[in-house]
Homo-oligomer: A and B are copies of this chain.
Amino acid sequence: MSAKLALSTVIYRMTEKGDATVSQISPRPGRGRPRLLPGKIAANPRDQILAAAAELFVSRGYAGTTTREIADGAGLRQASIYYHFGSKEEILAALLERSVQARVEQAGKIEAGMDSVAPDAALYALAVSDMSALVAMPYNIGMLYRLPDVIASPVYDRYGHLRGELVAGYGRVAERAAAERVPAGGEPGLGDLLVQMVEGVISLRREDRIGSTTVATIASACLRLCGIAEDAIEQARETALTALAQT
Contact = CB atoms under 8 A, between A and B. Distances in A.
Contacts of A214: 187-188
Q: Tell me the number of copies of this protein.
A: 2
Contacts of A230: 181-183, 227
A213 B187 contact: yes
Contact of A61 (B59, B64, B182): B64
B193 A61 contact: no
A18 interface: no
Assign chain A's interface to a size class: 35 or more
Contact of A63 (B63, B143, B203): B63
Interface string A52-66: 000000111111100
Interface in A201-247: 203-204, 209, 211-214, 217-218, 220-221, 224-225, 227, 230
Interface of A: 58-64, 143, 146-149, 152, 181-183, 186-188, 192-193, 196-197, 200, 203-204, 209, 211-214, 217-218, 220-221, 224-225, 227, 230
The 9 closest A-B pairs by CB, nearest first: A63-B64, A186-B217, A61-B149, A64-B149, A196-B200, A187-B211, A63-B63, A187-B213, A187-B214
